[in-house]
Structure 1
């Protein structure tokens, strides 16, 4: 198994893992791999898979959250907590009572940030699938 990009940064720069470290890696296909790091280079690393297990699916009924767009730091926190609580999907929306009332204020960078938050929270909580974030809707 090879690590690059954001995953590499998180495992080796943030968590400070090194050659010989053993930990579990979750994938988007609902599998968890217990790995041992065998090689670390400047921006890539390799690990040997020691064990594999299937992560159980979310229990039903699934929770789908409709969320009025609030201040962005609050939205970031809600995205993270929703993943941890087992929410299946979030449908952000704009209304006259929303903190942010215009779609132009949500840049592509903000959507990418929410995606990173969801991926990180998914890894940390041991969840097997990514929470879906739908495109914002206007009421």
Structure 2
């Protein structure tokens, strides 16, 4: 059964026109009146629904019963990441969403290959938010992680609460042990080439804790996904 995100608040018994994105999805799937859907609005749980009207510019549905289904991990992980280039950031957003990330903060770091600002950064943010929505529709999540606006790492770090920073420093604590007994945390991961020494030192000076995943050096898009897998599975 198709699962669709509806940004409009849902309620059992409501009859409504789907927002443009969800409506296009229904049209692409060539669904017909009477077809059953699952809708979620990001506010918890999901709703049964039925297509009542298929037009060229409007799709209408009737919302049915609410199902109080939740599949969020016990540990809320907010991922702050130096953006990897090209389609690797798309992949990172998709997989992080599937693994249960609570939010994603794209960062412009000293070693970032992808340099975004202004309108281009805004368009990328909207695109990545769409990637997160599509991943939720596919994987069964009912709460969509927020993808924040792109920020320079140093400026963001100055205002952020301390968390964990993925590091190549020898002897740093294993990430699973560092997160024990927490209910939420922020994880900072660098771009291609990792965080610059000055960036990591700035984080540590503000109370961040250096953690590591193991003896291998992982790619910029792989390291945060591996960390999320450890954190969300161990806390579930």
Q: TM-score range by the shorter chain?
A: 0.7 to 0.9
Q: What is the match of residue 66 of structure 2? A: 52
Do 2:125 and 2:148's aligned partners in 1 also have CA atoms closer than 8 Å? Answer: no
- Normalising by the residue count of structure 1, what TM-score does the alignment of the two structures yield? 0.85
State the distance in 2 between where 1:10 and 1:41 align.
13
State the number of aligned residues: 138
State the distance in 2 between where 1:90 and 1:97 align.
19
Q: What is the match of residue 94 of structure 1? A: 108
- Which stretches in structure 1 are left out of the alignment for 5+ residues? none
- Normalising by the residue count of structure 2, what TM-score does the alignment of the two structures yield? 0.53
Q: Establish whether residue 21 from structure 1 lines up as the match of residue 47 from structure 2.
A: no
Q: Output the aligned Cα RMSD.
A: 2.0
Alignment of 1:119-130 (within 5 A): 119-130=133-144
- Which stretches in structure 2 are left out of the alignment for 5+ residues? 1-15, 155-236
User: Residue 83 of structure 1: CA displacement?
Assistant: 0.7
The SS at the match of 2:53 is: strand
Alignment of 1:1-139 (within 5 A): 1-13=16-28, 15-56=29-70, 58-101=72-115, 103=117, 106-135=120-149, 136-139=151-154
User: Residue 105 of structure 1: CA displacement?
Assistant: 8.3
State the distance in 1 between where 2:119 and 2:110 align.
15
Do 1:84 and 1:122's aligned partners in 2 also have CA atoms closer than 8 Å? Answer: yes
**1:58-106 CA distance string (max 9 Å, x none):** 2222112221111131111111111111011112222222212454584
**Rg comparison, structure with higher value:** 2
